[in-house]
Amino acid sequence: MRVDAFLGGRLRIAQPATGYRAGIDAVLLAAAVPAGAGERVLELGCGAGVASLCLGARVPGLVQTGVELQEGYAALARRNAAANGIALEVVTADLCALPDGLRSRAFDHVLANPPYFQRARGSAAADPGREVALGEATPLSLWIEIAARRLLPGGRLTMIQRAERLPDMLAALGHRLGSAEVLPLAPRAGRMAKLVLLRARKGGRAPFRLHAPLVLHDGDRHEVDGDDYTPALTAVLREGRAISWPT
C-alpha cells in the first residue's frame, strides 16, 4: 500500500502499491462536475475514491455515494473518506446489479471514469485489480444507460474517456440524455486530444457543443524536470479548482 497526495497535498489517499492507481484523470473528472452544496452525487466505479473525494473537497455539503465492484477498493474508498474527513457512502456492487436500496434513489449528478480499453483490441493486465479498472467488461453503452436511470430529470452525467470512444459515448446517450457537450483534453497545443470530458443532461434539448481543447502542458515538449502543466491545469490539480467550461 502507498499513500498519494492529491490537490497539492490537501488529500492523502491510500492506493495499492501494485495494480491500478488513480491519477490525474480522476482529478479532472471531479473538476468537471458542476455540483453544488446539498446536491446528491453518484460515482459509478469509484475505485479507491479519488474522484469523489476530490469533488467533496471542492464542494462541501454534497451527499455522495460511490459504487465499486471490487471489495478491496471499496474498503480503501471508505478508509480514505474517513481519513480525509469527507462523507462518502461506498456500496460494493456490480453496477449492472445495483441493490434495491440504490435503485430506488435518484441523483443530481452521476460521474464515471469507465475502463478505457476494449479487450477485443488488446491484452489483459496481469494484475486482477488493474484489469477490472482498465479492461472493458461492461459495455460503455451500459454504463451510460445505468447512469441515465439513476439521474433525476435535469440531472447531469459527467464522464472522462479516451477520445477514440467519443462516437460510442454519443451514440449511447440516446433519447434520455441531451444537451451534450464535449471538452477535448490535448496534451500540448496543436496535438490531438487523447482524452475527452463529456457532460450531458437528462431530458436536455440544447444543441451538441464541441469546445476548443483544454491544453494540459506548456510548450512543445517536456524539457525540464518536474511538472510543466499550464496555469489552468495547475489550478485544477494543485488547488482543487473547477474546470472552466466555455459558455
Average pLDDT estimate for 55-70: 97
pLDDT at 56: 98
For 62, other C-beta atoms within 10 Å of its C-beta total: 23
**Cell (9 digits) for 194:** 487523447
Residues 217-235 pLDDT 10s: 997 665 565 578 999 999 9
CATH superfamily name and code, 2-239: Vaccinia Virus protein VP39 (3.40.50.150)
Q: How far are the Cα atoms of 48, 80, 226 from residue 109, in angstroms, in the given order?
A: 19, 21, 34
pLDDT of 93 strictly over 60: yes
The mean per-residue pLDDT over the stretch 203-229 comes to 84
pLDDT > 90: what percent of the chain?
82
Where along the chain do its domains lie?
Answer: 2-239
The neighbour count for residue 64, using CB atoms within 10 Å, is: 26
Q: Return all residues near 125 (Cβ < 8 A) that are at least 6 apart.
A: 131, 134, 135
pLDDT of residue 226: 57
pLDDT of residue 1: 86
DSSP string, the chain: -EEEEEGGGTEEEEE-SSS----HHHHHHHHH----TT-EEEEES-TTSHHHHHHHHHSTT-EEEEEES-HHHHHHHHHHHHHHT---EEEE--GGG--HHHHT--EEEEEE----EEGGGSPPPSSHHHHHHHEE-S-HHHHHHHHHHHEEEEEEEEEEEEGGGHHHHHHHHTTTEEEEEEEEEESSTTSPPSEEEEEEEET--SPPEEPPPEE-BSSSS--SSS--B-HHHHHHHHH-PPP----
pLDDT score, position 3: 95
| pLDDT, averaged across the chain | 90
| Residue 17 pLDDT > 90 | no
Lowest mean pLDDT among 13-17, 37-41, 104-108, 110-114: 13-17
Query: Given this model, what pLDDT does residue 138 score?
Result: 87
Judged against a pLDDT cut of 50, whether residue 75 lies above it is answered with yes
Torsion of CA 168, 185, 137, 106, to 10 degrees: -80
pLDDT of residue 224: 61
- pLDDT of res. 166: 96
| 135 vs 120: CA distance, rounded Å | 10
Question: What would the pLDDT profile of 94-152 be if each residue is shown by its tens digit?
Answer: 999 999 999 999 999 999 999 975 445 545 444 444 334 444 468 999 999 999 999 99
What letter represents residue 140's amino acid? Answer: L
How far is the C-alpha of 243 from the C-alpha of 237, rounded, in Å?
10
Whether 83 shows a pLDDT value over 50: the answer reads: yes
Percent of the chain past pLDDT 70, that is, above it, reads 89
